[in-house]
Amino acid sequence: MPPEVQIGTTASLGTLPSIAQTRSPAWWKDRVLILGAGPLAKELGRSLIHDHPTSYELLGCLDRLAERVGERVGGAAIIGTFSQLFELVERFRITLLVVCLEDRRAALPVQTLLDCKAMGLAIVDGHDLYEDLSGRFAIDLLKPSTLIFSDGFRRRVLAMGLKRTVDLLVSLVGLVLCLPLFMLVGALIKLDTPGPIFYRQTRVGMRGMPYRIWKFRSMRPDAESQGAALWAASNDPRISRVGRWLRKWRIDEIPQLINVLKGEMSLVGPRPERPTFVQELRQSIPYYDLRHTVRPGITGWAQVRFRYAASAFDAHVKLQYDLYYVKNLGLLLDARVLVETMRVVVLGEGAR
């Protein structure tokens, strides 16, 4: 039996078996070759190998420099150079070529890519595939030009008008239907701890404008008696007994329908942060203010895909999901978020 070619092999092109000696590819998998061996190729390689092994078979990566052949990148190996691209595509029967180059002007093998395209080979941008697989925007791996020339971030008048109409109808009907719940929750909060029923706090909204958010109070009245804004922690001792129940089932968020009715928020969008945190995060996280180009939401893509943000690191990851939503904003994505939110609420996931 001839030897099989294993994913991540460190063999040079000269020692690789011919196409007849490679194992038969699974018909349901895309056989992937990554053009590039930088940070984006590394992250994408990890995602393909560890998170999507049933859909993709990563054969390896290519680099400009021959001396890098054999190095490992994101779990796969560099199996050749750009000059060997066409031969490797034929030899391994590649069905998907992913371009992950930081500087395409100097390194992109344009003519070879055109030949591959003419053969019917699927060629995709690494950033786009990473977004599709992970559901988040790789803010640490892109340049401003990628954002400028991106097909996303469009604001179609009809879609935005329909989104606002849905917000108005749902918030108005929801507030009317929830009146009995408001009275019950208000009574429970009063019986549990002294203080107001509602909690109002300044948050940063669309275009960076501050507004006052409405929530049922779920913490003790002296939760921030020292005056400093604090991230909510797991099993936070400041949360009251009733508040823990309200947070688990997201009932404390229902009064934000008032903000939606006033046009300060939407049903779906990035969750609004406090001004103190915004000032801190915009200094340390690239493209942070892009999340302020749409109305903040009662729920959002980050809420159903990631845990509760309790630190600057969590906020960094959460922003990647928020920007994926901002880029791909539309009624279908909103509907998906709302369905996922119902699942999260029913299961009580991610509450703090």
Name the residue with tokens 């001004």: 275
- The CATH number of domain 13-134 is 3.40.50.720: yes
Dist. CA 254–CA 80, nearest whole Å: 56
Q: What is the pLDDT of residue 278?
A: 95
Token pair belonging to 211: 């507004």
Q: What is the pLDDT of residue 231?
A: 67
The DSSP 8-state label assigned to residue 254 in this structure reads G
Name the residue with tokens 């591959």: 116
Q: What is the pLDDT of residue 20?
A: 36
Strand partners, 78: 61
DSSP 110-140: HHHHHHHHHTT-EEEEHHHHHHHHHSS--GG
Tens digits of pLDDT across the chain (352 residues): 333 334 333 344 444 433 334 556 677 899 999 999 999 999 999 999 999 999 999 999 999 999 999 999 989 999 999 999 999 999 999 999 999 987 766 678 899 999 999 999 999 999 999 999 999 998 888 778 778 777 788 888 999 999 999 999 999 999 999 999 999 999 999 999 999 999 999 999 999 999 999 999 999 887 765 656 666 666 678 899 999 999 989 999 999 999 999 999 999 999 999 999 999 999 999 999 999 999 999 999 999 998 777 788 888 999 999 999 999 999 999 999 999 999 888 887 766 5
Helix axis angle, 331-347 to 157-177, nearest 10°: 30
- Of 288, 290, 272, give the one whose Cα is nearest residue 280: 288
Q: What is the pLDDT of residue 227?
A: 58
Q: What is the pLDDT of residue 282?
A: 93
User: What residue spans in the chain does CATH classification 3.40.50.720 cover?
Assistant: 13-134
